[in-house]
């Protein structure tokens, strides 16, 4: 088991370096240079060149890449924003925290709604508890998050006037955004849990458990559910990607000071350091969550645990 964890942790390093390389390479194609962007159009060419040199912009691509990583690792320095001229890290961090908060609330809410409904729909297959929620989940899967957000905004802020339409000062401000990003993930969770549960009910060991004369509730809760929830854990981890994607749009819609909204805003200013740093932070966070999911999965699934304890003794 430890070997598995160490192996996965070590693989994290090339993954993160790879992510940075790809983002860096894409950004490197962009015309324009930091000196011109910081000093403005009216600056003299030699001043611009001097600043570019000072920032290390005139170095070859790979060297820039290595320097960038060196600065992050040794000094926690993500560069200086072209737009506000402030340290990128200071600007990004509080916004990053808000986005993560939003995404985590989203994961919590979508799991709490989706998973139990999926289980119930599978247990009561073909009853109204199955068909109606399934149909609703089906329709929700076809609605973009921002359309849902706009409808919520229209109903609860403009018509009923009970929830604030922008900002992130209090919990009340976060109700609609969290709801708007969770609902499609909840629908996905429900569909996924349901099919996983139906799959598991059809397995031989469930038939064996029934044949032994165990009460139906024991069969469902102890035998079928435990196995059905394994793939659901992975699905919940994957939801984070979906939620971050949703958060970017929802932050823009509800004017929340999150990292997604920040990146979108800075795109028109070509504020590369902020965009690169924001993208890397989110991607790294996503990678770490996926790693945690894999480790949890290995921990709760005895088959995977057994596989690794066997190979590690060899």
Partner 1 sequence: MNDQMVIAEDDAVEEFRRENQTKEIWRRFKKSKGSLVGLFLLVIILLLVIFANFITSYDLAIKQDPSKILEAPSMEHPFGCDNYGRDVLARTIHGGRISLGIAVLATLCSCVVGSLLGAVAGYFGGVIDSVIMRTLDIFMSVPDILFTMAIVVAFGSSFTVLLLALTVAFFTNYVRLVRSQVLNLSEQDYIEASRAGGAGNARIIFSHILPNSIGVIIVNVTLNVAKIIIYESTLSFLGLGMPPPQPDWGLMLSEAREFMRKAPFLMFFPGTAIVLCAVAVNFIGDGLRDALDPHLKS
User: In the complex, which residues of this chain contact partner 1 (CB under 8 A)?
Assistant: 15, 18-19, 22-23, 26-27, 29-30, 138-139, 141-147, 150-151, 153-154, 158, 194-195, 198-199, 241, 244-245, 248-249, 252-253, 260, 263-264, 267-268, 270, 272, 275, 279, 282-283, 286-287, 290
Question: At closest approach, how far in Å is the CB of 293 from partner 1?
Answer: 12
Tokens of 304: 């995977």
- From the list 77, 112, 103, the residue with the least C-alpha distance to 91 is 77
Q: How far is the CB of 158 from partner 1 (least distance, A)?
A: 6
Give dist(CA 294, CA 5) in Å, integer: 9
Cα 168 to Cα 251: distance, rounded to the nearest angstrom: 10
Count CB atoms within 10 A of the CB of residue 55.
Answer: 18
The minimum distance between CB 113 and partner 1, in angstroms, equals: 20
**Backbone dihedral region for residue 30 (phi beyond 0: left; psi -120 to 50: alpha; all else: beta):** beta
Nearest CB to partner 1, comparing residues 3 and 143: 143
For partner 1, which is the closer residue by CB, 173 or 252? Answer: 252
23/230 with CB nearer partner 1? 23
218 contacts: CB under 8 Å, gap ≥ 6: 209
User: 158 is written with which tokens?
Assistant: 């403009």
**What count of other Cβ atoms lies within 10 Å of the Cβ of residue 243?**
26
Question: Radius of gyration (Cα) for the chain, nearest Å?
Answer: 24
| Residue (97 or 147) nearer to partner 1, CB | 147
Q: How far is the CB of 195 from partner 1 (least distance, A)?
A: 5
The nearer residue to partner 1, 15 or 203, going by C-beta atoms, is 15
CA 60 to chain CA centroid, Å, is 33
Q: Which is nearer to partner 1, 270 or 305 (CB)?
A: 270
**CB of 1 vs partner 1, minimal distance in Å:** 22
Residue pair 80/88 in contact (Cβ under 8 Å)? The answer is: yes
Between residues 214 and 285, which has the closer beta carbon with respect to partner 1? 285
DSSP conformation letters of 66-121: HHHHHHHHHH----B-TTT-SBHHHHHHHHHHHHHHHHHHHHHHHHHHHHHHHHHH
- Taking the least distance from each CB to partner 1, the nearer of 26 and 132 is 26
- The distance of closest approach from Cβ of residue 46 to partner 1 in the complex, given in angstroms and rounded to an integer, is 28
DSSP annotation of 220 reads I
Please give the distance of CA 164 from its chain centroid, rounded to a whole number. Answer: 25
Provide, rounded to whole angstroms, the least separation between the CB of residue 272 and partner 1: 7
- How far apart are the C-alpha atoms of 131 and 134, rounded to whole Å? 5
Report the nearest approach of partner 1 to the CB of residue 216 (Å). Answer: 20
């Amino acid at each position: 088991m430890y070997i598995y964890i160490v192996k996965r942790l070590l693989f994290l390093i090339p993954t993160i370096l790879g992510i940075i390389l790809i983002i860096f390479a894409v950004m490197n194609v962009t015309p324009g240079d930091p000196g011109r962007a910081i000093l403005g159009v009216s600056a003299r060419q030699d001043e611009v060149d001097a600043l570019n040199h000072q920032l290390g912009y005139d170095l070859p691509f790979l060297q820039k890449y290595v320097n960038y990583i060196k600065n992050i690792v040794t000094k926690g320095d993500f560069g200086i924003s072209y737009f506000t001229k402030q340290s990128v890290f200071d600007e990004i961090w509080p916004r990053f925290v808000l986005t993560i908060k939003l995404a985590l609330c989203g994961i919590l809410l979508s799991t709490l709604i989706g998973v139990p409904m999926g289980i119930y729909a599978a247990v009561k297959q073909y009853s109204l508890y199955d068909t109606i929620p399934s149909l609703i989940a089906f329709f929700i899967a076809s609605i973009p998050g921002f359309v849902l957000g706009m409808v919520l905004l229209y109903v609860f802020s403009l018509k009923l006037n009970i929830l604030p339409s922008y900002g992130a000062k209090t919990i009340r401000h976060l109700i609609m955004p969290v709801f708007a990003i969770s609902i499609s993930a909840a629908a996905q969770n429900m569909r996924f849990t349901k099919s996983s549960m139906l799959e598991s009910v059809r397995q031989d060991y469930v038939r064996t458990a029934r044949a032994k004369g165990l009460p139906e509730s024991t069969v469902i809760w102890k035998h079928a559910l435990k196995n059905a929830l394994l793939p659901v854990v992975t699905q919940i981890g994957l939801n984070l990607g979906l939620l971050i994607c949703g958060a970017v749009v929802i932050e823009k819609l509800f004017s929340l000071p999150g990292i997604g909204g920040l990146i979108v805003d800075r795109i028109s200013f070509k504020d590369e350091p902020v965009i690169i740093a924001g993208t890397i932070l989110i991607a790294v966070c996503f990678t770490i969550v996926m790693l945690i999911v894999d480790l949890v999965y290995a921990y709760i699934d005895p088959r995977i645990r057994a596989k690794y304890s066997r190979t590690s003794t060899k």
